[in-house]
């Protein structure tokens, strides 16, 4: 084994030309990745509801470029024989054991994400306690933008030990659940009808044969819950959609005497029905 | 000889509040001694120049050409009218994109069945159920134009539609209704409207040959077609749209095909009159998106002194709508064909600065505003539809 390692070290040729060649490859790979990612994102933004599908290519392209660049760099330094390759694997394994384990796990995680696609660039995902839109899937980490505009890097290895949930699964539309709570004595039929109409007339809604909407009513000891489930046209408008439904529904509730729940004689809200109680 | 039918609408009527109410008397000339009598135009707001397909002067000059193009659609409607007497009828929904030529079909149906049909044209959103009391005028068949005005996309805006749907399901009368395609597609997702109108006819897009035949049949005098474009106007590869009937689908679909022109590689050569004419109508059809009424408008705007220059036919415009609210406003306008400012304000709500958005759309050349009425600029209709479909604001 020691002889093989010696032979491997002897086979390594490293001069100034090789160094320049490696730098050249790294720069080229960097430019290619960033340029192509930028172009795909730009084209994706103009593709409307096909935006996320267009972005799907980015991680695959990145992995392909990384592998080609690595291959070119390795073969520029030495051309290993089979026995040298075995020796190199041994060294590589030792390196992993000493400190590169996490990096390697992240890279494997990145490859799994690129090919298995549990989520895509543009998806709204939740990993652990982090929720946001995926802005980039790198070889080592996935970056997500949270609703309050914070960029969070999540190591790709996380997909092996944490559940990753994607709210839209590669599509631009996404289900949004909006809850409204009303007083038990309010007219529930009227309230559900108002919520339904506010839902279907929202400018953000998307309805199709496979993307239905529903209004559910649930009764609790001190109040009733109205739950609207519908798809927002573009997941980026998730919170605007929710706000639009809530705002317009409560405006109509106020006009129709439907009031907020009361707790221990205290009425929350000040709808027209308040004075009648 | 003229027959008159007067619809008694009082300005004090509750439903006419805040509207420029006026009585209209629909007078239609006799055609082969048969008069489409009993036609009622219920016009709550809009004057005569509101778009209803084509100018009256233009449509009156139309030959039977357009009718023969829509022969299948007319036959389907006529079949239901014939079946109505025996009781085995189904209500009809004729669904069309703006400017598709639905009015020509309805005119033909009305002309052939004038004794049976009561004709109702809507020009603005209906706001009161009293409207339905005069729906039949003693006839057994109601022909209703612009049924997209039976609802308003706002909370509380579906009462009239619900009432109409109850009427359709309970009455033993045949309803032939015309709908804006985008309004229909929206309504079919939020209601059971498809169950009530089992015969659904979608007006197809026309190919360039049909449009050429129709326009040339009505053209007066000798028309000269001149190719005055620069030499690189001919492309080696171009994309053409054609209508194909796909397996398992009952309707024709528009698909793109590549057209190769080897002559373009050899440089410009003199073209025959027929080639230039074909190319001119191909350009007009692409711009019009296969919609006959738009093609006529482009034809009218491009022709000068019985000369049509290819360089004068505008390129297909691109609708660059970056603002979501503007796109939403456009989707409402195109779903209603024509809509007044007040109606639009009710739908848009207070969160959108409507005046600003409309001005912006007007400056972009996407809409036209006249007499407080908004409609999509005919030449921009197709690019607007493309952009709104991409954003899934119309379905």
Q: Please report the beta strands in chain B, taking only residues with DSSP state E, as ranges in sequence order.
A: 40-42, 92-96, 117-122, 141-145, 174-180, 199-202, 224-226, 237-245, 252-260, 307-309, 338-340, 367-370, 373-376
Quick one: pLDDT band at residue B188, thresholds 50, 70, 90?
very high
Total domain count, chain B: 3
CB B326 within 8 A of CB B359: no
On whether residue B299 sits in a domain, the answer given is: yes
Q: In 3D, which of B43, B9, B89, B66 has the Cα closest to residue B214?
A: B66
CA distance B178 to B105: 10
CB B116 within 8 A of CB B141: yes
Which of A180, A201, A207, A240 should one mutate to test binding to chain B, selecting the residue with the greatest count of B CBs within 10 A?
Answer: A201
Task: For chain A, positions 185-244, list CB contacts with chain B under 8 A.
Answer: 194, 197-198, 200-201, 203, 206-209, 233-234, 237
Max mean pLDDT range (B44-58, B119-133, B365-379): B365-379
> Who wins on pLDDT, B296 or A1?
B296
Specify whether B155 is located in the same domain as B98. yes
pLDDT of amino acid A268: 54
Give per-residue pLDDT as tens, B65-90: 777 888 889 999 999 998 887 878 88
Domain A124-166 has CATH 1.25.40: no
Chain B CB contacts of A234 under 8 Å are: 391
Task: For chain B, positions 97-156, list CB contacts with chain A under 8 A.
Answer: 153-156
The percent of residues in chain A predicted with pLDDT above 70, rounded, is 89
Of A47, A197, A209, the CB nearest to B155: A197
Quick one: pLDDT band at residue A70, thresholds 50, 70, 90?
confident
Tell me which of A251-265, B41-55, B254-268, B342-356 is least confident: B41-55
| CA–CA–CA angle B83, B88, B91 (5° rounding) | 80
CB B308 within 8 A of CB B117: no
The enclosing domain of B181 has a CATH number of 3.40.50.300
Task: For chain A, positions 151-170, list CB contacts with chain B under 8 A.
Answer: none
Specify whether B130 is located in the same domain as B20. yes
Q: Angle B324-336/B181-190 helices, nearest 10 degrees?
A: 100
Which of B182, B332, B391, B392 should one mutate to test binding to chain A, selecting the residue with the greatest count of A CBs within 10 A?
Answer: B392
Give per-residue pLDDT as tens, A104-139: 888 888 888 888 888 988 899 999 889 999 998 988
CB B150 within 8 A of CB B179: no
The answer, for B10 touching chain A at a CB cutoff of 8 Å, is no
Specify whether B32 is located in the same domain as B99. yes
Chain B CB contacts of A173 under 8 Å are: 392
Q: Using the 3D structure, point to which of B273, B289, B312 is the last residue of a domain.
A: B312
The answer, for B391 touching chain A at a CB cutoff of 8 Å, is yes
Give per-residue pLDDT as tens, B136-154: 777 888 999 999 999 999 9
Domain containing B36 equals 14-202
CB B374 within 8 A of CB B341: yes
Quick one: pLDDT band at residue B171, thresholds 50, 70, 90?
confident
The arithmetic mean of pLDDT across residues A184-210, rounded, is: 93
> Who wins on pLDDT, A132 or B254?
A132
The arithmetic mean of pLDDT across residues A74-80, rounded, is: 77
> Does the pLDDT value for residue B127 go beyond 70?
yes
Of B155, B189, B328, the CB nearest to A203: B328
Write the ipTM.
0.73
CA distance A240 to B328: 14
Quick one: pLDDT band at residue B135, thresholds 50, 70, 90?
confident
Chain B CB contacts of A198 under 8 Å are: 155
Q: What is the CATH number of domain A174-276?
A: 3.30.70.100
Residues of chain A with CATH 2.30.30: 124-166
CA distance B4 to B24: 10
Find the helix or strand (DSSP H, E) in which A165 lies: strand A164-166
The answer, for B189 touching chain A at a CB cutoff of 8 Å, is yes
The arithmetic mean of pLDDT across residues B352-366, rounded, is: 90
> Who wins on pLDDT, B134 or B26?
B134
Q: In 3D, which of B178, B168, B43, B42 has the Cα closest to residue B107?
A: B178
Q: Per the CB < 8 Å rule, is A252 touching B393?
A: no
């Amino acid at each position: 084994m020691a002889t093989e390692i010696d032979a491997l070290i002897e086979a390594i040729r490293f001069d100034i030309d090789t160094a320049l060649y490696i730098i050249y490859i790294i720069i080229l790979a960097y430019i290619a990745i960033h340029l192509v990612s930028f172009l795909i994102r730009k084209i994706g933004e103009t593709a409307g509801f096909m935006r996320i599908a267009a972005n799907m290519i980015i991680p695959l392209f990145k992995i392909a470029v990384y592998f080609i660049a690595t291959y070119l760099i390795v073969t520029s330094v030495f051309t290993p024989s089979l026995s040298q390759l075995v020796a190199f694997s041994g060294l590589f394994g030792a390196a992993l054991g000493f400190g590169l384990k996490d990096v390697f796990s992240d890279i494997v995680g990145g490859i799994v994400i690129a090919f298995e696609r549990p989520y895509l660039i543009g998806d709204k995902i939740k990993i652990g306690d982090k929720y946001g839109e995926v802005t980039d899937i790198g070889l080592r980490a996935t970056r997500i933008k949270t609703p309050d505009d914070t960029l969070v890097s999540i190591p790709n290895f996380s997909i092996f030990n944490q559940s990753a949930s994607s709210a839209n699964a590669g599509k631009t539309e996404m289900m949004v659940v909006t809850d409204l709570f009303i007083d038990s004595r309010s007219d529930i039929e009227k309230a559900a009808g108002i919520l339904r109409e506010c839902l279907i007339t929202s400018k953000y809604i998307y309805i199709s044969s496979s993307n239905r909407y529903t209004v559910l009513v649930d009764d609790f000891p001190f109040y009733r819950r109205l739950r609207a489930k519908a798809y927002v046209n573009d997941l980026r408008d998730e919170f605007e959609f929710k706000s639009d439904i809530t705002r317009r529904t409560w405006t109509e509730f106020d006009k129709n005497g439907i009031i907020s729940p009361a707790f221990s004689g205290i009425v929350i809200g000040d709808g027209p029905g308040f004075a009648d109680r | 000889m003229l027959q008159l039918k007067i619809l008694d609408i009082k300005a004090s009527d509750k439903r006419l509040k805040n509207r420029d109410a006026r009585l209209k008397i629909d007078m239609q000339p006799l055609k082969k001694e048969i008069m489409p009598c009993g036609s009622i135009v219920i016009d709550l707001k809009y004057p005569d120049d509101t778009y209803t397909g084509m100018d009256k002067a233009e449509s009156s000059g139309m030959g039977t050409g357009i009718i023969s193009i829509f022969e299948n659609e007319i036959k389907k409607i006529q079949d239901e009218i014939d079946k109505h007497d025996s009781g085995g009828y189904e209500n009809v929904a004729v669904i069309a994109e703006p400017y598709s030529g639905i009015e020509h079909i309805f005119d033909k149906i009305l002309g052939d069945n004038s004794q049976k049909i009561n004709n109702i044209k809507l020009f603005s959103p209906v706001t009161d159920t009293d409207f339905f009391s005069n729906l039949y005028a003693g006839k057994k068949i109601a022909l209703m134009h612009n049924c997209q005005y039976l609802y308003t996309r706002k909370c509380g805006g579906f009462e009239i539609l619900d009432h109409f749907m109850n009427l359709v399901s309970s009455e033993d009368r045949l309803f032939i209704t015309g709908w804006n395609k985008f309004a229909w597609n929206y309504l079919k997702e939020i209601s059971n409207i498809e169950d009530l109108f089992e015969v659904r006819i979608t007006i197809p897009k026309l190919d360039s040959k049909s449009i050429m035949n129709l326009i040339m049949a009505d053209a007066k005098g000798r028309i000269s077609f001149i190719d005055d474009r620069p030499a690189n106007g001919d492309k080696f590869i171009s994309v053409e749209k054609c209508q194909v009937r796909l397996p398992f689908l009952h309707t024709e679909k528009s698909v793109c095909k590549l057209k190769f022109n080897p002559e373009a590689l050899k440089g410009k050569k003199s073209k025959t009159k027929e080639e230039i004419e074909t190319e001119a109508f191909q350009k007009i059809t692409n711009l019009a998106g296969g919609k006959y009424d738009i093609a006529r408008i482009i034809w009218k705007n491009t022709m000068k002194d019985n000369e049509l220059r290819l360089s004068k036919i505008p390129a297909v415009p691109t609708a660059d709508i970056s603002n979501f609210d503007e796109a939403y406003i456009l989707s409402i306008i195109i779903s209603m064909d024509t809509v007044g400012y007040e109606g639009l304000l009710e739908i848009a709500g207070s969160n959108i600065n409507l005046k600003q958005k409309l001005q912006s759309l007007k400056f972009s050349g996407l809409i036209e505003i006249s007499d407080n009425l908004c409609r999509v600029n005919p030449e921009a209709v197709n690019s607007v539809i493309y952009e709104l479909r991409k954003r899934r604001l119309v379905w």
